[in-house]
Structure 1
Amino acid sequence: METKTSGSSLSKALNMLNHVCTSPVPLRFAELVDLSELPKATAHRQLNTLLEHGLVRFDEHKQAYYPGYELLALAHRTWANLDIRDVAAAPMRDLWSKTQETIHLAVLDGADVIYIDKLESPKSLRLYSAVGKKGPIYCTGVGKAMLAFLPEDKQETVIAAQSFIRHTDHTLITPQALRVDLQQVQKTGISLDLEEHEMGIKCAAAPIFNTRNEAIAAISVTAPAFRTSDQTYEEMKVQVKHAANTISKRLGACD
């Protein structure tokens, strides 16, 4: 037999690439042969293929292999083409199953939020939101979740563009009140809408980060106040943050 292990040529190359990328120190050829359990000729052929495609690089001085720069280019193109809705679909469904309440996925659109996906609660509930509909940033959970993690100059630009219309008795209607709330969001990683946009409606939201740790979206769970005890709301906070972290990791965000 040609190899000590079975599998296609692609499997062997990917296995070799995995060893190069996950090793805490650069590996020499002999070390890669041992780790991959491939004959030297096969290991050499697989490494040459990876080198040709820029997926690994070889340092002549250290006689060791490193991850190739083409991996970064591939990652960038992959992240650029990802549809956040596809990435978020399974965590959204899991959050919906656990809470049985309405789940929203939203992104920023200038000075507004726009809802790009929604899972309706199986229980009776009528909400302002709808897929494709815009909403205010300053009094929605998803809006504040993203706004809190914008760079300071961009955050101030967005705050200056807010209307601060009073939707309910609980709406934050001044920039300073909003900034105080955003500081709390930064500390906890959770944004709350305590009947700020619609009376009788509570929401817990969390930001979704990309590989550059930019808050590019937010996910929320929304429920009527009469169904939301203090304990239920605490559970919602934990669950929505877990869902957001899961989506962020899928997008390559750092812990």
Structure 2
Amino acid sequence: MAEARDGTVGKALDVLDRVAAAGGPVRFSDLLEDGPYPKATLYRLLQTLTSQGMLSHDAELGTYTLGVRLVRLAHKAWSQASLAPVAHEWLDRLSRETGEAVHLAQLDGAQVLYVDKVNTALRVDMFSATGRVGPSYCTGLGKAMLAFLPDAELDQALGQQSYHRFTDATLTSPEALRAELAHIREAGVAYDREEHEPGIICIATPILSRGGRILGGLSITSTTARRSLDDLSQLAPLLLDTRAKIESDIHAWRFPEDGPRLRTVPT
């Protein structure tokens, strides 16, 4: 829920989030029952969002869905702020070279937002999908990005993790995670050792700006039925080479950064 200090804008964004999370048309009564706002406040927020094109209202069915204006803004944000348009050709090449699924992600607060995915021809069911948000403390991509955050941002992010045990391999405390992140900073790569999903393993690395700021993460994902963690470690040179190509393209795409370097990744 949006905090009180965010005022009306925060409440409106909270309503948008909840309509989006519904995954389809949602009724006023459902938003009222599951939400924190009084009937009059919710009605006013929905009316404003609808009139601005951020939501669409089907009067006959009495349902709300995401609006065309929001979709247009999302498309612009995707092309301007997401790494996906810059990195996709490199993801596609890495997937072909390894025969495995390749993921691209960015941090969404303290969580992992999957912004692109290229599947190998051998389809494998897994949690990750473009546009989906997942935990960072128990995924290779999440740990790779957390490891290279500035100290203050890392402290905040670690305080926002749930540390829920998904599998026997899940790290369930900030102390255990910090120790893991220290190793990741030294190695430049992170592993998912079936920590989020049984049978799913990956090797991941952060994508940094030339100023050393986290821009995203890149991973190669497989299953224990196809590869071992040792097998994945042999793909580290390909992973790191692809990361370097993406970082180079990003620098050409964006203005160079000013300010001190924050973190460096071993190569």
- Structure 2 counterpart of 1:179, which letter? R
1:188 aligns with 2:187: yes
Query: Match for residue 37 of structure 2?
Result: none
Runs of 4+ more than 6 Å apart: none
Query: Match for residue 157 of structure 1?
Result: 156
Whole-angstrom distance in 2 between the partners of 1:124 and 1:117: 16
Whole-angstrom distance in 1 between the partners of 2:200 and 2:121: 16
User: For the aligned residues, what is the CA RMSD?
Assistant: 1.9
Query: Match for residue 174 of structure 1?
Result: 173
Matches within 5 A, 1:100-249: 100-229=99-228, 231-249=230-248
Whole-angstrom distance in 2 between the partners of 1:150 and 1:232: 28
Whole-angstrom distance in 1 between the partners of 2:123 and 2:246: 28
Whole-angstrom distance in 1 between the partners of 2:128 and 2:140: 12
Over the matched positions of the two proteins, sequence identity in percent amounts to 36
Whole-angstrom distance in 1 between the partners of 2:247 and 2:158: 25
Q: Is the 8 A contact 2:203 2:233 kept in 1?
A: no
C-alpha displacement of 1:83: 4.3
Whole-angstrom distance in 1 between the partners of 2:223 and 2:235: 13
- Structure 2 counterpart of 1:113, which letter? V
- Structure 2 counterpart of 1:245, which letter? A
Whole-angstrom distance in 2 between the partners of 1:242 and 1:216: 17
Query: Match for residue 9 of structure 2?
Result: none
CA separation of 1:215/1:124 partners in 2, compared to 1, >3 Å: closer, same or farther? same
SS in 1 for 2:221: strand
Whole-angstrom distance in 1 between the partners of 2:245 and 2:228: 26
- Structure 2 counterpart of 1:156, which letter? D
TM-score w.r.t. length of structure 2? 0.62
- Structure 2 counterpart of 1:223, which letter? S
Q: Give deviations 1:15-55, integer Å, cap 9, x for gaps.
A: xxxxxxxxxxxxxxxxxxxxxxxxxxxxxxxxxxxxxxxxx
Whole-angstrom distance in 2 between the partners of 1:230 and 1:191: 11
CA separation of 1:120/1:164 partners in 2, compared to 1, >3 Å: closer, same or farther? same
Q: Give deviations 1:58-87, integer Å, cap 9, x for gaps.
A: xxxxxxxxxxxxxxxxxxxxxx94641121
- Structure 1 counterpart of 2:105, which letter? A
C-alpha displacement of 1:138: 0.1
C-alpha displacement of 1:236: 2.3
Q: Give deviations 1:201-249, integer Å, cap 9, x for gaps.
A: 1100010112322111001110001211355212222222221121112
Q: Is the 8 A contact 1:203 1:220 kept in 2?
A: yes
Q: Is the 8 A contact 2:141 2:218 kept in 1?
A: yes
SS in 2 for 1:217: strand
Q: Give deviations 1:70-117, integer Å, cap 9, x for gaps.
A: xxxxxxxxxx94641121112111110111111111000012111011
Whole-angstrom distance in 2 between the partners of 1:124 and 1:87: 24
Q: Give deviations 1:156-205, integer Å, cap 9, x for gaps.
A: 10001100000000000000100011011100110110100111111000
SS in 2 for 1:106: strand
Query: Match for residue 84 of structure 2?
Result: 85
